[in-house]
Amino acid sequence: MENLNPGTLFFAAIFTNNILLTNFLGLCPYLNMSRNIRSAFGLGAAVVFVMTCTTVINHLVYYRVLVPLHLEHFQYIVFIIVIAAFVQLVEMVVERYFPALYFVLGIFLPLITVNCAILGASLFMIIREYTLTQSLAYGAGSGIGWLLAITLVGAMREKIQKSGMLPKGLEGPGITLIITGILSLAFIAFSGMIQIQ
Amino acid sequence: MADIITGLLIISASTAFLALLLEIADRFLADYGEKTIRINEEKEFVVKGGSTLLSTLGQNKIFLPSACGGKGTCGLCKVKVPNGGGPVLPTETPHLTVDEMMQHVRISCQLKVKEDLDVEIPEELFAIKEYRVRVERVDLLSPEMKYFHFKILAPEEGLVFKAGQYVQLEVPPSELSKEPQFRAYSIASPPYEHETMGLIITKVPGGVVSTYVHDYLQVGDELIARGPFGEFCLRESEKDMLMIATGSGLAPIRSMLHKIYREGAKRKITLFFGDKKPEDLIYYDELHEFDKTHPSFTYIPTLSRTTEEDTWDGEKGRVTDLIRKYIPDNSGIEVYICGVPAMVQSCNDLLLQKGIPQENICFDKFE
């Protein structure tokens, strides 16, 4: 994928190849934390940050450490460990030096360690053979796309909760999955526009 | 083969490197230096910052109630922090009402000591002590439940508590957990026995403390307990009583019954006890004996999962079925419920429907 413009890739990762709405990755925190805009945005912002940084770090780790040592098959384990360590480190730094940011992101950071979208972005970048710049664009774009999706649904769920007219069986995850389905239909419709793999 | 070994070595080495990096970062970043905690505007402690308020106060022998062991799920370790502490964290908000937030109430197991703090602690919490206890006897009550009888070794005056209260039992580090762990257990022994303490502990799959006491604890071992905590206590009244318990929720009820009958009270008491199978009916003989010797006491056990082979001719179903069957509408009774949250909630809702006011229903939820 040498010839793909990073700008195009960035745009594609947000809209036409949204990692949540077209690949259905990171659904568990998405279902749980999209009850209101505030927490949805908090988690989304944390995902943007962690995804951008970990795709870049994992790109370096893969091509500078794993490939020369012929350990590509360990990529899953290594990526997970790198993500976990990175999240821990960021949490400590943020807690110490950015109390205001910690207040917004604080509890969401540890949750992200187990968010499969983060690992997914790292693995896609390897499978699709992105360069470092492309990986940066892809990581940031995917993160922003995830933020966009969860914030959209968070806003809808907040409205629905206030209207209070749902049948009992549809409350919570039920209606969220239906909304997600309709939203993803809309997003998938554009998925052929840009070829990113 | 060599590939596998080098691969493993390199992965281990890089994991160790990352762990080391985190450990170094923890040393430098999580070190908040010495901070002062001022309690009720009189006592001052200089403490090492960085830990939670709950554990920092615990190190200074001030014990706040906590059932979940500092995981932020029970919401019992509330304290007022008028100065310092920063904004209320998202992990605290589920346990706090708007009024409490306005009054600077915080969940002390979530709040970390990063600056000087003023803390208000109710005087009665200073009565909470740390006890050294020794296992005297272990009785197997049912396949999953054991009764642990402890002797209070220190302090000398023994354990003074009200029937219905609970203690936090701490178990030492083991292969189950690297750090000491504690959980809350209601006291099942009568309150007039000060030198001993009895706890009914159900083995929870994956539970660190319950697994430890069931599988590792031996007669003669010593543990630490703190308490007494809790407001699930008998009220001063002459109303007829209904007591509802399931599983180890019988513990505080048993303590209450012993107290009531020792004092020779004449109140009419009905006990609904629910569990799954005949072998789960803990203290069946003791309660049956109570039923026979005290005309004012009625014991009605019920089983929810009997099979054809069980020779059980008592009630079948759940405790809520017993409420529907035996409790008339608008009866002026006082109710004590203890057991798992779902059971407590459904009993409470049903009793409200039956016209029993909320102020006459006390409950203790076992998480």
- Indicate whether B269 and B344 sit together in one domain: yes
pLDDT by residue for chain B (367 residues), tens only, comes to 787 888 888 888 888 988 998 888 888 877 778 888 888 877 888 888 888 888 888 888 788 888 777 788 888 888 888 888 888 887 888 888 888 888 889 998 888 888 888 888 887 777 788 889 999 999 998 888 999 999 988 788 888 888 889 998 988 888 888 888 888 899 999 988 888 999 999 988 888 888 998 988 888 889 989 888 888 888 888 888 889 999 888 899 999 888 888 887 778 888 899 888 888 888 888 888 888 888 888 888 898 888 877 778 888 888 888 888 888 887 788 889 998 888 999 899 988 888 888 888 888 887 6
- A56 pLDDT band, cuts 50/70/90, is very high
Domain boundary among B229, B262, B281: B229
B360 within some domain? yes
Please tell me the number of Cα atoms within 13 Å of A145 on its side-chain side: 32
- Indicate whether B117 and B140 sit together in one domain: no
The alpha carbon of residue B177 is apart from the nearest alpha carbon of chain A, in Å, by 20
Q: How far apart are CA B34 and CA B331, in angstroms?
A: 58
Q: What is the pLDDT of residues B216-247, one digit of tens each?
A: 888 888 998 988 888 888 888 888 888 999 98
Tell me if B11 and A71 make a contact (CB, 8 A cut-off): yes
Q: At B98, which CATH number?
A: 3.10.20.30
* Dihedral sign (CA B153, B69, B192, B219): negative
Asked which of A35-44, A47-56, B270-279 is least confident by mean pLDDT, the reply is: A35-44
Domain boundary among B205, B229, B253: B229
Q: What residues contact residue B167 under an 8 Å CB cut-off, 6+ apart? A: B131, B159, B161, B184, B185, B187, B197, B199, B225, B226, B227, B228, B229
Selected residue of B29, B91, B112, B113 to mutate for chain A interface (largest A Cβ count, 10 A): B29
B247 within some domain? yes
pLDDT at A178: 93
- Indicate whether B169 and B154 sit together in one domain: yes
In chain A the first and final C-alpha atoms are separated, in Å, by 7
- A140 pLDDT band, cuts 50/70/90, is very high
Q: How many domains does chain A have?
A: 1
* Dihedral sign (CA B81, B83, B88, B89): negative
Q: At B188, which CATH number?
A: 2.40.30.10
Residue B220: exposure state from Cβ atoms within 10 A (0-12, 13-18, ≥19) = exposed
Q: How far apart are CA A138 and CA B100, in angstroms?
A: 45
Residues present in chain B in total: 367
B283 within some domain? yes
Q: Which helix (H) or strand (E) holds B105?
A: strand B105-107
Q: Which residues of B touch A92 (CB under 8 A)?
A: 22, 25-26, 29-30
Q: How far apart are CA B214 and CA B218, in angstroms?
A: 9
Q: Which domain holds residue B359?
A: 241-365
- A143 pLDDT band, cuts 50/70/90, is very high
Tokens linked to A100: 């205001």
- Indicate whether B248 and B181 sit together in one domain: no
Give residue for tokens 């580090």. B173
B353 within some domain? yes
What ipTM did this prediction achieve? 0.73
Nearest to A92 among B29, B91, B114 (CB): B29
Tokens linked to B308: 């054809």
pTM of the model: 0.57
Tokens linked to A12: 């594609």
**SS (HEC) of A24-79:** CCCHHHHHHHCCCHHHHHHHHHHHHHHHHHHHHHHHHHHHHHHCCCCCHHHHHHHH
pLDDT at B313: 81
CB B211 within 8 A of CB B306: no
The alpha carbon of residue B75 is apart from the nearest alpha carbon of chain A, in Å, by 17
Q: How many domains does chain B have?
A: 3
Q: How far apart are CA A179 and CA A153, in angstroms?
A: 7
Q: How far apart are CA B138 and CA B150, in angstroms?
A: 9
- Indicate whether B221 and B257 sit together in one domain: no
**pLDDT at A107 exceeding the cut of 70:** no
The alpha carbon of residue B42 is apart from the nearest alpha carbon of chain A, in Å, by 29
Domain boundary among B125, B143, B173: B125
Q: Which residues pair with B149 in a beta bridge?
A: B137, B198
**pLDDT at A137 exceeding the cut of 90:** yes
pLDDT at A181: 93
Q: How many CB pairs under 8 A join A and B?
A: 50
Tokens linked to A113: 């360690």
Q: Which domain holds residue A177?
A: 6-188
Region A81-110: mean pLDDT is 80
Tell me if A106 and B11 make a contact (CB, 8 A cut-off): no
Q: What is the pLDDT of residues B90-113, one digit of tens each?
A: 788 888 888 888 888 999 888 888
